Amino acid sequence: MQPSHYKSSRPPRRESTHAPANHSSQNRGGSRGSFRSAGSGSRAGFRGGYRGSQPNRSFKKGGRGNFAQHINESKFINKAVITESAPHFVPEHAFADFVIDERLKVNIAKKGYVTPTPIQDKAIPHILRGADLVGIANTGTGKTAAFLIPLINKILKDPRARVLIVVPTRELALQIETEFQGFSRMLGIWSVSCVGGANIGAQIRALSRLSQVVIGTPGRLCDLIKSGHIRLAEYGTLVLDEADRMLDMGFIADIRFMVSKMPAMRETLFFSATMSPEIQKLIKEFLREPVMISVKTGDTAQSIDQDVVRVPRDANKFDILTNLLRQPGFDKVLVFGRTKHGVQRLAESLVKAGFVAEAIHGNKSQSQRVKALRLFKEHHAKILVATDVAARGLDVSGISHVINYDLPATYEDYVHRIGRTGRGGKKGVALTFIG
């Protein structure tokens, strides 16, 4: 991936949400569905591969769903660095050393956990003693286990304990529930997932049975609280996971409502990938003298090879994508689009082009989203096309490539998108379409 110098005098056009499904005509000459360059410089683009770019171009657009900040093009380009001489984290604990129930230790071992990640190593002891905690960590650092393990131990010590875990997306809620089920197997501890898009009747029935842990998204949780099916006065622990994402998605009023219904003397765990002034205000509002833990080592993982894909003004963007996907090594690919309709059309076009692809976005029912994820996880679908709903909480092993077919709205969104690859010490590739 050699850089090709590029000049532009104005930002790329916004992709229309009403572009025709026929991708063969929507990306030529700056037509709808494309990002067109107005520059007169090099038009180097896809010629059997992809090329880098001049690291001084940035993008900005205003309005919800468009660009809200400058993103310098150089931020999309970074060679992966995997070296044996890199600094090696030495944990202070092993999972066997934590003062937790022996039955829980057995389940941890069965899941293959031996050495804690940095966030787990630092957070678990504080959560075990009941402290409020703020954890700032990159995506994919193991923070789910960092709070589930000590909270399961808390319930084992006191079966009357109740835990509320609030997350921004259905996918993250289901991911946490899956992790919980692995850690709590045969321990007599139960959870219920309360998310929008799923049958609320089934969730109400599950809540009527003994469930010590409730995991859900703000909208559905508020509905169940207001209808009296969740009585927050009984919950002594609150977990706010991906708090920065919930703030971005406009859930702050729902979160304040839930916090107002909980006991003042509670344990609150607050996890975020960023520490903005707004996040700092929420920490002061919701937590009492919290322990602050930050294990964020950088914006993006060093194991991800990042580059851009040029889309010349006279090129077909969809053809460039399909040519990439047919290259060796593109084994399990997550493609991000910006809109629900655009993602659905792109997935359908890929299927027509002979690929096995699935789509996941907000217009899909919960059962459809679960099925799409299952097919992708189990290698039945090579390609998953998604909106940013999948950028956080999607934990699928072995994703070889993340492709930003549409540019992300913010750099934070970019970080979380590409964090789906290069996990577990493996190398990944992230490609961003620029034109």
Instruction: Report pLDDT digits (tens) over 65-116.
Output: 444 456 767 777 776 544 433 345 677 889 999 999 999 999 999 998 989 9
Note the Cα 309 to chain centre separation in Å. 23
pLDDT in tens, 213-254: 999 999 999 999 999 999 999 999 999 999 988 988 889 999
More confident residue, 159 or 427: 159
Q: Taking a C-beta distance cutoff of 8 angstroms, is the pair 430, 304 a contact?
A: yes
- How far is residue 80's CA from residue 78's CA, in Å, rounded to a whole number? 6
User: Who's near 342: CB < 8 A, 6+ residues apart?
Assistant: 15, 17, 19, 33, 406
Domains of the chain: 23-82+302-434 (3.40.50.300), 95-294 (3.40.50.300)
Residue 299 confidence (pLDDT): 52
pLDDT tens digits, residue range 249-290? 889 999 999 999 999 999 999 998 888 888 999 999 999 999
Q: With cut-offs at 50, 70 and 90, classify the pLDDT of residue 297.
A: low
Complete DSSP assignment for 137-202: --TTS-HHHHHHHHHHHHHHH-TT--EEEE-SSHHHHHHHHHHHHHHTTTTT--EEEE-TTS-HHH
Whole-prediction pTM: 0.65
Give the span between the Cα atoms of 248 and 264, in whole angstroms. 26
Most trustworthy range by pLDDT among 141-145, 315-319, 394-398? 315-319
**What token pair was written down for 322?**
């399909």
CA distance 364 to 351: 17
Tokens 């859930």 correspond to 251
Q: Is 173 in contact with 167 (CB distance < 8 Å)?
A: yes
Cα→Cα distances 305→79, 102, 161, Å: 5, 41, 44
Cα–Cα nearest to 167, from 47, 22, 269: 269
The residue written with tokens 């609320």 in the block is 200
Residue with tokens 């916004």: 14
CA gap 333, 385 in Å, rounded? 8
The C-alpha atoms of residue 432 and residue 7 are separated, in whole angstroms, by 17
- Render pLDDT for 18-75 as a digit per residue (tens, 0 to 9): 333 344 333 333 333 333 333 333 333 433 344 433 334 445 443 334 444 567 677 7
Residue 388 contacts residue 408 (beta carbons within 8 Å): yes
